Structure 1
Amino acid sequence: MIMRPGQQLLLPARPLFIWGSLLAALLLNMLLNMGLWGRAAWTPDMLALVLVFWTVHQPLRIGIVAAFFFGLLMDVHQGALLGQHAMSYTVLSFLAITVHRRLLWFTVPSQSAQVLPLFVAAHALELLLRMSGGGAFPGWSLLLAPVLEAALWPVASVVLLAPQRRAPDPDENRPL
């Protein structure tokens, strides 16, 4: 892949770090659902954010199967219609795989604008599945969740790419 001028060369991502960050996002989602505001419709889905991030940056390691598995875990945790989050995360992962090559050419703030429609589509699909299963409409605050997830994209980029940015062998004669 041809790199943009000024773009830093990254080290390969460690699989343990990738899966650990996904597990941490799953646990954070579980904590947010049990927190002060409970299952508020406006809370961002941190697991979806991390899934999309790793699907974009490491599509050969994290893909549709991982998204389906984590979706089933979220369904069991929330007591939701079995397959609701699994279907939503699977579609989200598929959409992220389709745009991952184009998305990496943008700057990080522009990337957050590019992933906003992906998060909107995932939340719309999840709402459609919930409503068709006889669930109640969670309210219009649901529209805030994809916006918050897109706003957290730069933070996720900084935090999740930080271990790859360190120099493997720092030397003043070798800047790469």
Structure 2
Amino acid sequence: MNHQPHYILLPASPLFIAVSLIVAFLLNLLPWGQWIGIPDFVALILVFWSMHQPRKVGIGVAFFMGLLMDVHDAAVLGENALAYTLLSYFAIMIHRRVLWFPAGVQALHVFVLLLVAQVVELIVRLLVGGRFPGWLYFVESVVAALAWPIVAWILLAPQRRAINRDDTRPI
């Protein structure tokens, strides 16, 4: 049984959401994309915000970020956009249930979501004549799922602080 308290979080700042998406995009721009196991930071942050703020970050934002990644990766236009859109849609579908679980169980759900997105990208790539990158291609989803508790803790930190700190207040 989970005995951790559930805190009432402050609303997420749209500026903070935008900055986190920009930082994720910039991390994806770094030249470590060919390394095995480096996760897709944009996909990870999109899953997070689609689960925590589905009214602010939804399918439209996911599609736009996917187009940006398509241009960066010189991929078939729409490959990442389709994967991110489906990723955001499924994250929004399960967000009410998943957020009640502890971080480890949430990470399992995130793993499945990211794996589905990778499979969609791979199918599109193979349909247009690309080659199979090997089974190590899917290690990205494992690494991203392992990073989920840390990412969630970092991105929720600004919402946990009290507006007017008072040690006598229970919330």
After TM superposition, the runs of 4+ consecutive aligned structure 1 residues lying more than 3 A away are none
Answering whether residue 82 of structure 2 is matched by residue 82 of structure 1, we say no
Q: Secondary structure at the match of 1:170?
A: coil
Q: How many aligned positions are there?
A: 169
Give the Cα–Cα distance (whole angstroms) in 2 for the partners of residues 118 and 153 of structure 1: 12
Q: Are 1:167 and 2:155 an aligned pair? A: no
Deviation at 1:41, TM superposition (A): 5.2
- The aligned runs of 1:1-176 (5 Å cut-off) are 6-31=5-30, 34-35=31-32, 38-40=33-35, 42-176=37-171
What are structure 1's unaligned runs of at least 5 residues? none
- TM-align CA RMSD: 1.3
Contact 1:41 1:139 in 2 (8 A): no
Tell me, in whole angstroms, the C-alpha distance in 2 between the residues paired with 1:16 and 1:94: 22
TM-score by length of 1: 0.92
Give the counterpart letter for 2:164 in structure 1.
D
Aligned residue type for 2:79: Q
User: Could you give the per-residue CA deviations for residues 105-162 of structure 1, whole angstroms, max 9, x where no partner exists?
Assistant: 1011110012211111000000000111111211111121111111111011011001
Structure 2 Cα separation of the partners of residues 20 and 136 of structure 1: 35
The letter for the 2-side match of 1:146 is S
TM-score by length of 2: 0.94
Unaligned runs of 5+ in 2: none
Q: Percent identity?
A: 49
Q: How many Å separate the matches in 2 of 1:86 and 1:59? A: 18
